[in-house]
């Protein structure tokens, strides 16, 4: 299949659609998600379905539920030895990929303290992702916690 013909999330002039994903509808969906604290999941999904369509609403809510199971970045950095470690593999992956973008010279040591509490596979995903990102590679290679982790875990590579 070529093009976007099978994509049920976007506007398709060949099909009757009441709602679909567009920059404008995503902005409205953002407003709905900001108000989710006072509403049930069913209310939020229904509102999102009317705004961005059913397929996109279900995908977005799945992402939000995973993201909600994560500790905040501030919790991790403030108390890396006691911050909650998510159990689900999808939450762990989301955590690792987002952390690659968030760590900096001041936080990488504390994040490694937290990371050591997660499965080795996730630790290696974080490290490999950071090394494959040209913007982050220098930070990782000049970080003592990363170099020590690589020395101890070289068998993983």
What is the per-residue pLDDT for 2? 56
Query: What is the 3-state composition of the chain as percent helix, strand, coil, each rounded to the nearest 5?
Result: 65, 0, 35
Q: Is the pTM of this model over 0.95?
A: no
Digitized pLDDT (tens) for each residue of the chain, 157 residues in all: 456 667 788 887 777 788 989 999 999 999 999 999 989 999 999 999 999 999 999 999 999 999 999 999 999 999 999 999 999 999 999 999 999 999 999 999 999 999 999 999 999 999 999 999 998 999 999 999 999 999 998 887 7
What is the per-residue pLDDT for 78? 97
- Round to whole Å and give the CA distance between 12 and 58: 19
Token pair 């040591």 is found at: 109
């Amino acid at each position: 299949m070529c093009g976007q013909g099978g994509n049920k999330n976007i506007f398709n002039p060949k099909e009757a659609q009441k709602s679909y994903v567009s920059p404008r509808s995503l902005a409205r969906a953002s407003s709905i998600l900001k108000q989710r604290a006072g509403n049930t999941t069913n209310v939020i999904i229904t509102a999102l379905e009317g705004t961005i369509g059913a397929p996109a609403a279900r995908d977005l809510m799945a992402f939000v539920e995973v993201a909600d199971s994560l500790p905040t970045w501030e919790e991790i950095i403030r108390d890396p030895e006691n911050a909650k470690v998510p159990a689900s593999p999808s939450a762990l992956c989301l955590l690792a990929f987002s952390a690659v973008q968030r760590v900096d010279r001041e936080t990488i040591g504390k994040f490694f303290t937290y990371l050591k509490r997660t499965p080795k596979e996730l630790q290696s995903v974080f490290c490999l992702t950071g090394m494959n990102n040209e913007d982050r590679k220098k930070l990782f290679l000049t970080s003592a916690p990363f170099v020590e982790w690589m020395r101890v875990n070289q068998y993983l590579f």
